[in-house]
């Protein structure tokens, strides 16, 4: 089964699922190794990890495509890519879809923020018109070569115009043909219920950001609220930041590995993750110099 069909199957199966974020090939591989069903290529995480800057629209299309291509090379489960605003207008969206489809993604997320965009849980956002975003969605749908490639439409209108406007936009994006709807940064459980009750019949995303604007709920609670996807975009990135910080601090302060070992994976775990045994097998099979 193709990755696009596999992801469409996830959308129609009973129950909600967690979509964890990856920021490089290593974190993507870890997500699959742990047993999750799909990977989210996080725009914020890629900006943080690859550029060293906050999520304020600094990444280019090519930079994200390069990272996502590496993720797809080392994993076998579907990848959902955060394509921000599509990196421009509707014409840019057409190129964005072609590039990510060639990279091997199963779904592309597009949002209605003004470019350059900001993290959905930052203040000071703005959105384009509903009509312009509808045009972007239609351009994406008309450009995709694989009809199973899912288009996820995100609106950031809650913070700018309120939840009613966000729901109105979500309806328009669904009517334009989006496969998945993502209303970003609702701030209360009441808003979560309002969103899902107003948008029945289409898979919906709940983005949970630790310390962000949306209340944190469990997967069971997200499903009960009516969400299909519980997005945890940067949990892995933030755990990596803490783990690296803690181990480096101990190494700096103590000048010894004695208390570092509790913070790091074993040698064997590292080589297993990166498939050293598989490489050795290929060497035995193919290298005869």
Domain boundary pick from 219, 235, 251: 235
Same domain, yes or no, for 253 and 220?
Answer: no
The pTM for the full model equals 0.96
Same domain, yes or no, for 185 and 282?
Answer: no
Same domain, yes or no, for 246 and 231?
Answer: no
Same domain, yes or no, for 194 and 263?
Answer: no
Taken in order 160, 163, 164, 168, the sign of the CA dihedral is: positive
DSSP string, 176-213: TT-SEEEE----SHHHHHHHHHHSTTS-EEEE--TTSS
Give the integer Cα–Cα distance in Å for 12 and 252. 50
Instruction: Judge whether 42 and 29 are in contact, CB under 8 Å.
Output: no
| Residue 9, H or E segment | helix 3-12
CATH number at residue 12: 3.20.20.60
- Number of domains composing the chain: 2
Residues 6 or more apart whose CB falls under 8 angstroms from that of 161 comprise 127
**What string of pLDDT tens digits covers the 289 residues of the chain?**
899 999 999 999 999 999 999 999 999 999 999 999 999 999 999 999 999 999 999 999 999 999 999 999 999 999 999 999 999 999 999 999 999 999 999 999 999 999 889 888 888 889 999 999 999 999 999 999 999 999 999 999 999 999 999 999 999 999 999 999 999 999 999 999 999 999 989 999 999 999 999 999 999 999 999 999 999 999 999 999 999 999 999 999 999 999 999 899 999 999 999 999 999 999 999 987 6
19: β partners: 231
Same domain, yes or no, for 223 and 253?
Answer: no
Range of the domain at 260: 241-286
Same domain, yes or no, for 217 and 279?
Answer: no
Query: Residue 4 to residues 77, 209, 223: CA-CA distances in angstroms?
Result: 10, 26, 23
Same domain, yes or no, for 135 and 262?
Answer: no
DSSP string, 33-90: HHT-S-EEE-HHHHIIIII-S-SSS---HHHHHHHHHHHHHT--S-EEEE-TT-SSSH
Same domain, yes or no, for 84 and 216?
Answer: yes
Same domain, yes or no, for 193 and 155?
Answer: yes
Same domain, yes or no, for 58 and 189?
Answer: yes
Same domain, yes or no, for 27 and 164?
Answer: yes
Same domain, yes or no, for 227 and 258?
Answer: no
N- to C-terminal Cα separation, the chain: 38
């Amino acid at each position: 089964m193709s990755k696009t069909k596999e992801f469409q199957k996830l959308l129609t199966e009973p129950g909600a699922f967690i979509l964890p974020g990856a920021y490089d090939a290593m974190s993507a591989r870890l997500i699959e190794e742990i047993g999750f069903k799909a990977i989210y290529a996080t725009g914020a995480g890629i900006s943080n990890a690859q550029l060293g800057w906050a999520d304020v629209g600094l990444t280019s299309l090519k930079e994200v495509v390069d990272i996502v291509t590496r993720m797809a090379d080392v994993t076998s489960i579907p990848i959902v890519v955060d394509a921000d605003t599509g990196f421009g207008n509707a014409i840019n969206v057409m190129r964005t879809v072609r590039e990510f489809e060639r990279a091997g993604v199963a779904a592309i997320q597009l949002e209605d923020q003004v470019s350059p965009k900001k993290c959905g849980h930052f203040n000071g956002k703005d959105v384009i018109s509903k009509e312009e975003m509808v045009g972007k969605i239609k351009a994406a749908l008309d450009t995709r070569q694989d009809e199973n490639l899912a288009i996820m439409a995100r609106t950031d209108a809650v913070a700018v115009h309120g939840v009613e406007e966000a729901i109105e936009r979500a309806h328009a994006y669904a009517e334009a043909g989006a496969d998945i709807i993502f209303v970003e940064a609702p701030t209360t459980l009441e808003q979560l219920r309002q969103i899902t009750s107003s948008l029945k019949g289409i898979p919906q995303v709940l983005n949970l950001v630790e310390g962000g604007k949306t209340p944190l709920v469990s997967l069971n609670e997200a499903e009960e609220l009516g969400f299909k996807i519980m997005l945890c975009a940067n949990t892995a990135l933030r755990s990596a930041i803490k783990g690296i910080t803690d181990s480096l601090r101990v190494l700096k302060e103590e000048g010894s590995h004695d208390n570092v070992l509790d913070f790091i994976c074993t040698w064997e775990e590292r080589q297993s993750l990166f498939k050293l045994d598989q490489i050795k097998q290929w060497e035995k099979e193919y290298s005869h110099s």
